[in-house]
């Protein structure tokens, strides 16, 4: 039975998690901006603090954590 995940798999999983999270956050922020400010508006810096973004921030942190931890295992 495999007890430890090999380092390359952890790095690849981290990069995949980061990629999915960044794309998901971009789509979510576009939805928030168009609903709140309209299609032609740039929006506000406060858009980053919307509660719908925190799940993407968590996934980004998990991805960075996996990639970082793979260096030390």
Per-residue confidence (pLDDT) for residue 23, from 0 to 100: 97
Per-residue confidence (pLDDT) for residue 22, from 0 to 100: 96
Per-residue confidence (pLDDT) for residue 1, from 0 to 100: 45
Cα distance between residue 36 and residue 15, in whole Å: 31
Per-residue confidence (pLDDT) for residue 17, from 0 to 100: 95
Low pLDDT (below 70) residues in the chain: 1-6
Q: Which residues of 14-34 are buried (b: 16+ CB within 10 A; e: fewer)?
A: beebbeebeeebeebbeebbe
Per-residue confidence (pLDDT) for residue 6, from 0 to 100: 61
Q: Tokens for 56?
A: 């993407």
Per-residue confidence (pLDDT) for residue 15, from 0 to 100: 94
Q: What is the residue extent of each domain of the chain? A: 7-70
């Amino acid at each position: 039975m495999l007890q430890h995940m090999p380092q390359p798999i952890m790095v690849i999983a981290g990069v995949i998690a980061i990629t999915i999270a960044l794309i998901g956050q971009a789509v979510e922020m576009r939805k928030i901006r168009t609903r709140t400010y309209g299609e032609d508006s740039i929006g506000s810096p406060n858009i980053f603090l919307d509660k719908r973004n925190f799940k993407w921030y968590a996934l980004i942190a998990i991805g960075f954590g996996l990639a970082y931890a793979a260096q030390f295992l």
